[in-house]
Structure formats: structure tokens, C-alpha cells
Amino acid sequence: AFTAHFYQTFDANRPALANLYQEGSMLTFEGTQFGGTAAIMEKLANLPFNQCLHTIVTQDAQPTHAGILVFVSGEIRIEGEEHMMKFSEVFHLMPANGSYYILNDMFRLNLS
């Protein structure tokens, strides 16, 4: 449920992802780190494309000491690009107020 919600929100209303992060959250995007909701959202808002479509191919989850670790592999179609690109993303979700937020998010394109 989390991954479908995350990617549907990313594809349709990227600014709404701010609700999934907190000030202690960290995003590593292609090797560059961004800490806190504002920095993460600035990075996501300034990606070099406005529209995309994620397709989840596989997802695995494991409980951690206090949260959930989620590993996703999939494909992303970016506006104006003919071919889909493969990606991998890892989320460390932590409980808060009866729901979960993203503590850690690591994203990589799988370029070959």
C-alpha cells in the first residue's frame, strides 16, 4: 500500500509528498544527500522533468527494530523520453501518529 501511494503521489502531485517526510528525514538521490523535508522537497521539485510514470516491478519489505525497510525496483517513463529507465529505491519507514513517515529514502537509476 505504501509504495503504490508514494509513486502515484509522485506521478500526479509531487508537492504532496512533503506529508511523507519529517525534519529528521534524509534522501540520497543518485549519491547526493538531502536532509529535512524542505531540502528533500526542493530536490524533488527541481528534477529536470515535470511528468513521469513509475511502474513497480518488485517490492520487498522487512520489519526493523522500530519500523519497516522497503526495497523497490521498477521502471520510470519520463516525459519526452522514448524508453523507460530502470530504478531502485529503498525506504526506511518509521511509525508516527498511527501512520508511517519516510526516515530514509535512497534512489538510484539502474543505468547500464
pLDDT digits (tens, 9 = 90+) for 38-59: 999 999 999 999 899 999 999 9
Widest Cα–Cα separation across the chain: 42
> CA–CA separation, 52 vs 66, rounded Å?
32
> CA–CA separation, 102 vs 91, rounded Å?
6
pLDDT of res. 21: 98
> CA–CA separation, 77 vs 60, rounded Å?
22
pTM, rounded to two decimals: 0.94
Strand ranges of the sheet holding 99-109, from the earlier edge strand across to the other edge:
32-35, 21-29, 99-109, 85-96, 68-78, 52-63
